[in-house]
Amino acid sequence: MATNRTFTMLKPDAVEKGHIGAILEKITASGFRIVAMKLTQMTAADAKEFYAIHKERPFFGELVEYMTRGPIVAAVLEKDNAVEDFRTLIGATNPADAAEGTIRKLYAASIGENAVHGSDSDENAAIESAFHFAGREMF
């Protein structure tokens, strides 16, 4: 399994606010290469499957509503130490706790609407990339 790739989504709030360009600029300026990318919209079934690990959480319904309300940008990113470095670049889940200069500090409104997703492990990066890009020639 590749250890130098991660998966991201620019979430509906970031797309709605017109932040696609600024966030991609920050990602590429931080040394990530875009391996695959698309503008897409998740169905409720997609969001429930993608976030299945959170299905018992009280915010699950809200999360599915949020993630399906408009387009997202899904992308596979490549860099040495991609998973960990990308989590550092996006900052804490709650933007109130995110470090200065991180994507969530700059662009997220709340713990729920937090602008960007980043995989939390190499295994999940592979699963999440396949979820959005299955069958695509990106490797």
Q: Tell how strand 116-118 and strand 5-10 pair up.
A: antiparallel
Q: Which does 119 bind (CB under 5 to 8 A by kind): ligand IDP, Mg ion, none?
A: none
Q: Quick one: 20 or 51, whose CB is closer to ligand IDP?
A: 51
* 70 CB-near residues (< 8 Å, 6+ apart): 12, 15, 16, 41
Q: Tell how strand 5-10 and strand 72-78 pair up.
A: antiparallel
Q: Quick one: 63 or 135, whose CB is closer to Mg ion?
A: 63
Q: Quick one: 113 or 136, whose CB is closer to ligand IDP?
A: 113
Q: Which does 139 bind (CB under 5 to 8 A by kind): Mg ion, ligand IDP, none?
A: none
Q: Which does 117 bind (CB under 5 to 8 A by kind): Mg ion, ligand IDP, none?
A: ligand IDP
* 91 CB-near residues (< 8 Å, 6+ apart): 97, 98, 99, 102, 103, 104, 105, 108
Residues that bind ligand IDP (CB under 6 A): 54, 59, 62-63, 93, 111-112, 114, 117, 120
Nearest distance from C-beta of residue 91 to ligand IDP, angstroms: 9
Nearest distance from C-beta of residue 137 to ligand IDP, angstroms: 28
Q: Which residue is nearest to Mg ion (CB)?
A: 120
The per-residue DSSP string of 90-103 comes to H--SSGGGSPTTSH
| 117 in active site | yes
Active-site positions? 117
